[in-house]
Structure 1
Amino acid sequence: MTLVAYVREHIVLFGALTANLGIAIAKFVAAGITGSSSMLSEGIHSVVDSLNQVLLLYGEHRADRASDAAHPFGYGRELYFWAFVVAILIFAVGAGVSAYEGYIHYYDPEPLHDPTINYIVLGVAFLLEGTSWVIAVREFAASKGDTGWWTAIMRSKDPSVFVVMFEDSAALAGLATAGAGVWASHYYNAPELDGIASMAIGVILAMVAVILAREAKGLLIGEAADVATIRQVRAIVETKDWITAVNHVRTVHSSPRKIFVAISADIEDHITMGDGERLIEHLETELKAAIPELSSIYIRPEKQEDAARFADSAEG
């Protein structure tokens, strides 16, 4: 894959990384000049976001490795691990430091300075973060189809998109909060209000971190493919006249674009072992052609009554 193709494939991450690096530098300069706690918190927030994009890009790279003897189903879930690390960083570093800085500046506030540079930096940051947010939202909207936004987020198997979308949403909310804190502290001549704004930014980041950690945990444990994919697999298998019943179809994502599927099917009693092997091989080929995301297919011949006896309650 060429560098241009790689960047295009990961445009959401590269767009967010570029924006956050520039924004972080500007925020720290503004914080150093004006002594604003909320601006310092926002600078830390942008540094954490930049590191998060680097970790997600690293996770994408590691997840693309081919399977081997130690990991026969590949390394796809490594992306999910790094998404979980990102959530921890947002909570521990982003939210923790913002809350701490806000607490310090609330009880020992900095003298007020001309806020003009803060407003300029916040305006530019809002424009850049907004651009990154629009890119992430468009990418996610294209992949979700007609599914509702929240449902699509809960079902999404690609953290590199929804993590950036949540990060950018938190960033925009944080910028608005920082701007309000800077304005209020000067309007009311109360610099401790800037510290309160910084603590509010910490709360926003903590809420986002909890949501992302929940989603990353589910992906790490193993989530089923979407209902439409499971139904499509079942429909294809049920068309075979040598299969009398499909007992269950169980799936799990080993990466955003790779699915392991296990199928239990009752096969006609007169089918010999040799014929069964040939028919199953043809069925696997048909399934992979219809659903390229099926990286591993396991089809188990099993009597319907036996499957019903030992199956658990959930399919998928």
Structure 2
Amino acid sequence: MSANGGTRAIIAALLANVGIAITKFIAFLLTGSSSMLAESIHSVADSGNQGLLLLGGRRAKRAATPEHPFGYGRERYIYAFIVAIVLFSLGGLFALYEAYHKWHDPEGINDHQWVPVTVLVIAIILESFSFRTAIKESNQIRGKQSWVRFIRRAKAPELPVVLLEDFGALLGLVFALFGVGMTLATGNGEWDALGTAMIGILLVTIAVVLAIETKSLLLGEGAEASDVAAIERAVTDGPEVERIIHMKTLYLGPEELMVAAKVGVPSCESAEELARGINAVEARIRAAVPIARVIYLEPDIYSVAAAQAGTGAAAPTAVPQADDEAAERPGS
């Protein structure tokens, strides 16, 4: 995923949410609507989440150190996971608590009745622009994938997070408009509480989805099947390697893939010839899958017997011992 594309979507969402949060708080103070309060906290949580995503992207760019030799690319996953926790606790649970409180003490909206509807309509327009930016940036890399598959398989967490947050924000605004509208129409504050509860359930659901997907990235995901196939073709598409004995891939970060493989090579006359062959294979891998930046290839002599035994190791080769060589010399 383009890091710049993700950053543009995050900044667009951040600017929209800050403005929306301020107007929602003003509307809550004027009307006392619990839906407006829940939506205010929702926008504050979203603004904080976008700040976390920007911070995670910045920290992930740090150079590798002896303590972290593979760099800090996966820090973007950690901050995305924190986003899920914030959305669950600060957004979802608060909304559910506020709904419970409002349901047991329902109050209608008696003052400034036009304010919440006006604010919610403006917020829907602003969120739509933010959502449109996230969709536009995602479409550049989504290809023919469905939206569900894109969110589940994306290795860079920023765009899926922003997409889900913006979608949840738009749907939450519709729920708030429903609760406020029905409260204004009936004078019954229980509708306001119902809208608030719908917002809370929505946010908790989105947070759980984000947590599940981000957890998978934190545990470590391998390359997509198409990339694995491209790497396999690059390895064997030359005389240097006869076959792949076994291979594993792992994302070290959204834009950095590690490839480790044991490969069967033909007999070589010198270590120099073997090294040139391995370097040629690595060059083909990087050409086929540019994000494969860390490559470890272990050359071996393939053994059918070892493969059948499940080890994939090479058959031991006899190495002449010094005493044996001396015994074979004439006159020894």
TM, length-normalised to structure 1: 0.92
Shift of 1:42: 0.2
Shift of 1:154: 1.2
Which moved further from structure 2: 146-155 or 255-264?
146-155
Counterpart among 278, 281, 284 of residue 283 in structure 1? 281
> Does 1:216 pair with 2:214?
yes
Shift of 1:7: 7.0
Structure with higher Rg: it is: 2
> Does 1:49 pair with 2:46?
yes
Q: Counterpart of 2:12 in structure 1: which amino acid?
A: G
Separation (CA, whole Å) in 1 of partners of 2:119 and 2:204: 24
Separation (CA, whole Å) in 1 of partners of 2:159 and 2:165: 10
Contact kept, 8 Å, 1:262 with 1:297, in 2: the verdict is yes
Contact kept, 8 Å, 1:126 with 1:172, in 2: the verdict is yes
For structure 1, the 5+ residue unaligned runs are: 1-5, 312-316
User: What secondary structure is seen at the aligned counterpart in 1 of 2:144?
Assistant: coil
Counterpart among 90, 99, 102 of residue 99 in structure 2? 102
Q: For 1:192-222, what per-residue CA distance to the aligned partner results, in whole angstroms no more than 9, with x for missing partners?
A: 2101211110000000000000111001001
Contact kept, 8 Å, 2:221 with 2:251, in 1: the verdict is yes
User: What secondary structure is seen at the aligned counterpart in 2 of 1:251?
Assistant: strand
Counterpart among 271, 274, 278 of residue 273 in structure 1? 271
Counterpart among 225, 231, 253 of residue 251 in structure 2? 253
User: What secondary structure is seen at the aligned counterpart in 1 of 2:246?
Assistant: strand
Separation (CA, whole Å) in 2 of partners of 1:167 and 1:15: 12
Contact kept, 8 Å, 1:230 with 1:249, in 2: the verdict is no
> How many residues are paired up?
307
Contact kept, 8 Å, 2:268 with 2:274, in 1: the verdict is no
Q: Counterpart of 2:8 in structure 1: which amino acid?
A: I
Which moved further from structure 2: 275-284 or 51-60?
275-284
Aligned to 1:65: 62
Aligned to 2:230: 232
Structure 1 residues 74, 307: closer, same or farther in 2, change over 3 A?
farther
Matches within 5 A, 1:134-283: 134-270=132-268, 272-283=270-281
> Does 1:32 pair with 2:29?
yes
Aligned to 1:122: 120
User: What secondary structure is seen at the aligned counterpart in 1 of 2:222?
Assistant: coil
Structure 1 residues 59, 304: closer, same or farther in 2, change over 3 A?
farther
Contact kept, 8 Å, 1:91 with 1:209, in 2: the verdict is yes
Contact kept, 8 Å, 2:168 with 2:203, in 1: the verdict is yes
Aligned to 1:3: none
Structure 1 residues 226, 103: closer, same or farther in 2, change over 3 A?
same
Aligned to 1:79: 76
CA root-mean-square deviation? 1.8
Contact kept, 8 Å, 1:264 with 1:307, in 2: the verdict is no
Separation (CA, whole Å) in 2 of partners of 1:245 and 1:190: 73
Separation (CA, whole Å) in 1 of partners of 2:136 and 2:261: 35
Shift of 1:8: 6.5
Separation (CA, whole Å) in 2 of partners of 1:307 and 1:218: 31
Separation (CA, whole Å) in 2 of partners of 1:290 and 1:124: 47
Q: Counterpart of 1:140 in structure 2: which amino acid?
A: S
Shift of 1:307: 5.4
Which moved further from structure 2: 224-233 or 208-217?
224-233
Aligned to 2:323: none
Separation (CA, whole Å) in 1 of partners of 2:5 and 2:152: 25
Q: Counterpart of 1:238 in structure 2: which amino acid?
A: T
User: What secondary structure is seen at the aligned counterpart in 1 of 2:242?
Assistant: strand
> Does 1:89 pair with 2:86?
yes
Structure 1 residues 204, 275: closer, same or farther in 2, change over 3 A?
same
Shift of 1:188: 2.1
